[in-house]
Structures are given as structure tokens and as C-alpha cells.
Amino acid sequence: MAATVSLSSTFDTHPHHPHHHAHFKPHHAPYFNTLPPKPKHPLPLQLKSGCYRLVLPLFSSSDSPSSTSSFFQDPLRTGRFLTNEELEKLRILENFRYSHEFEFGSMWVRVMRAEEIDITANLLAESFAESLLLPIAYVKLLAYLVKQYLIEKRALMPHTATLVGFYKGVDGGEEEEQLAGTVEVSFNKRGANASPPTPTPPKNSPYICNMTVREPLRRRGIGWNLLKASEELISQMSLMRDVYLHCRMIDVAPFNMYTKAGYKIVKTDSILILLALQRRKHLMCKKLPVLDNPSEIYLSGPDEALHE
């Protein structure tokens, strides 16, 4: 599934989220959210093609946080204090589940776990390489860069989250579940990318990006349900009702899906963006309804939404 790529990651010498330094006894230790350590010699790598822009620092293997299956069990290498509100938001992310039954299978969506970073990075790398028309030999490099990006974004929870969707089909017999797609959601400016694509969305509004579906599983409604899962999570995590996303003008099928879901064009790139070798994009917005029950956000079935 085509999607506007929005990967941007740089190290700021003046962080937007100040660290609190305090002395405390181990048995009175507060909760922390792990932040990736700053490399001694960051090497930003920029790759531009079409509407894609990757700005990612390269880590040494010793700098990567170790993987765990729980948000609250990450090693306390470098951290920040979490407010009670942030802790509550983390619990919402940890407990979030979305599911849908198809005629010939089922899928469920939840927040990506630490041990799923590698497979998610590989899926995104394959999708980016396909959209960028890059040789297959570049997939491994892209996967490495995307992995660093995912590690950084995961450290910004609960202000952003990467969702993963798993699909299990039944076609003449049982099939094993498999990673079917992924999508990224930021809930406010603290989770937003430093350099979002143009036209620029409001940084403090929820934003959906980096959606992709594994190629053999496209046209089954998985993209539609990733979008619905994102909206349902936003309804639980944010009081802001306006949700934004980008869609390239050449991506007709995704545009039709977003329109079907209620998104409207807010602004379109100037034709001058072509001089920067970028594809023109629409910035689209949808106002989510205020619901007592978040599950009410589910709209008409994916079979009516172009089977993305």
C-alpha cells in the first residue's frame, strides 16, 4: 500500500523534554521511559527521492537499547521522569487492542513491542525500497536505518506509537498468523517528527503516517483496518479531534480510501515542490466524533473501502 514516508530523526543538543536529575533510593525508584543514548559521533544520513526524506543517526551496536516485551521493563540507561498522566497513557497503549473478522481470516492490531522492531523495520524497508524504486540490495541498509528510527520513536511513547497488524487467514486449512502491516501515530507535538512532509500539519494535532501493508496481503481490507485502529487509539489518547495525514497525488487508491473514511483535502503542495524532486502531496484532515464508546468509530466494512 502506497503511503507518504515521514521518517525524520536528529539529535538535538537542547532537548524539548528537559531531564530531571534526582538522587533516589533503588526501592523508591520512579517509573522512567527509556530514551536512546546520544552517540558520541552522530552521523546523520540523508536520502532524498520523490517525497521521501530520511534523516537518521547511525548507532553503534552497543548503543541500542535491549529488547523487552513490556513498556515498563526497559533498561534505565538514560531516562526522564514520567507524569501520572503519561503513565496512564502508557497503560492505555499497552492494553490497546483492535480486531476485525474477514470472510476468510481475521486481523488484530496493537502497539509494536520491542522484540517486533526488527520485523517491522524490514516490512517498512521493503515498502520504502519499492516506492523509491531502489535495488533490492538497499533493503538491508534501509532496514538498519528504519530500525534506529523505530527505537527513537518508541522512546517517545506515550506521545507517539507504532501499531502493528497481524493477519491469520483460513483458506482450506489453518494458516499461521503473520505481520500484515504497520502504521505510525503521533498524538501531539512531543511525538511529532521534527521535519514533517509538506504541506505541514499542525504539530499539536494527531497525525497518521508510515502506513504500509505486506504486498501479498493487499486488497483485503487490512489498510482500512489499520486506519480505523489508528483513529480508535487517537480517540483514547487525545482530546484533539482533528486528525491529519498526507497522501501523494499519484496514489489514487489510498486517496479514495481516505476520502471514503471521511478525510478531506486541507492543502496541496505547490507545483514548485517538483523542483526539489519531490512528489506533490495532499494534506488531508478528518474531525473525529466525540464518542462515549471508542469502538463506535468503526465505519462501514473494509469491503466497501477499495480493499486496501
Catalytic positions are 258
> 264-268 and 52-56 as β-strands: parallel, antiparallel, unpaired?
unpaired
Rg (CA), the chain: 19
d(CA 230, CA 207): 9
For the chain, list the strands marked E by DSSP: 7-8, 32-34, 45-49, 52-56, 79-81, 98-102, 105-111, 160-169, 178-186, 207-213, 242-248, 264-268, 281-287
Q: Match 540490495 to its residue by C-alpha cell.
A: 137
What sign does the CA torsion over 59, 206, 76, 10 have? Answer: positive
Q: How many residues are listed for the chain in this entry?
A: 308
Q: Residue 32 contacts by C-beta under 8 Å, 6 or more apart in sequence? A: 74, 76, 79, 80, 81, 82
d(CA 9, CA 27): 35
